[in-house]
Amino acid sequence: MEAFPRSPGTANILIKAFVSSGQFLLPLIISLLVWAELWFGWSFMIAAGIMFINALFLYRCTFPPHPGRRLPVIKKTTSSTEHRCSIIDLASYTLYGYISMATFYLVSQWLAQYGQFVAGMSYTMSIKLLSIYTVGSLLCVFITAPLIRNTVRPTTLLMLYTFISFIALFAVCLHPTFYVVIIFAFVIGFTSAGGVVQLA
């Protein structure tokens, strides 16, 4: 965040981009290891090597300058308004947060198994669903950030992404076929991993 003091949202987008890039590359690396009949531990060794190179790079970097702490100017107000939140609002926000995070976690953990055992995909194709899922989430981050900054309200996108996620989940439960699961992986990645979780 210190590298982008004027626009911390840029740092969030970069973090999400790098995380999604790793999620995209890992299934491809595993598929390559399966094809070449190599040790699965090479995927961890590659990640450890990248982290070591990153640590060397960060060790040589200087910490960005940080402005001094400014004392806030306290203005006396004659009347104070209290913001009250009803029990229904609190319950709905809590329920929505739980459902969105549970859906995000279940899909990200069980998408490959669902494609393999329910839709009848091969193992290598089923783990590529995670790459398709990640492409959708990465694309949504770069589309959602400018929309929120310029034109669309976050609550509007939140409701839209939630509705699309519901339709996608409903469709893949009714028709778990090869192409439907592939389309579902992209759509749920776009609307859930890159949309709802970013806005909720």
pLDDT in tens, 154-195: 778 878 888 888 898 899 999 999 999 999 999 988 887 665
> What is the tally of helices (H) and strands (E) in the chain?
7, 0
Largest CA distance in the chain: 74
- pLDDT, position 174: 92
Report d(CA 128, CA 32) in Å as an integer: 11
Q: E strands within 58-177?
A: none
pLDDT score for 97:
75
Residue 39: φ, ψ to 5° = -70, 135
pLDDT at 196: 54
User: What is the model's pLDDT at position 30?
Assistant: 81
DSSP 5: S
- 115's CB contacts (< 8 A; 6+ apart) are 121, 125, 126, 129, 181, 185
- 43 vs 171: CA distance, rounded Å: 34
Report whether 23 contacts 130 (CB < 8 A). Answer: yes
Closest by CA position to 140, among listed 7, 26, 28, 16: 16
For 133: left if phi > 0, alpha if psi spans -120 to 50, otherwise beta; the answer is: alpha
What are the boundaries of each domain within the chain? 8-63+89-199
pTM of the model: 0.64
User: Residue 186's pLDDT is what?
Assistant: 92
Q: What is the pLDDT at residue 9?
A: 54
Residue numbers in the chain where pLDDT is lower than 70: 1-14, 16-17, 63-85, 193-200
What's the confidence (pLDDT) of residue 76? 54
pLDDT value of residue 83 = 58
- Residue 67's pLDDT is 61
* Tokens (6 digits) for 93: 């926000």
What letter represents residue 14's amino acid? Answer: L
Instruction: Return the pLDDT at 166.
Output: 85
- Three-state secondary structure along 29-40? HHHHHHHHCCCC
Rounded (5°) CA angle 137-140-146: 150
- In this prediction, residue 2 carries a pLDDT of 57
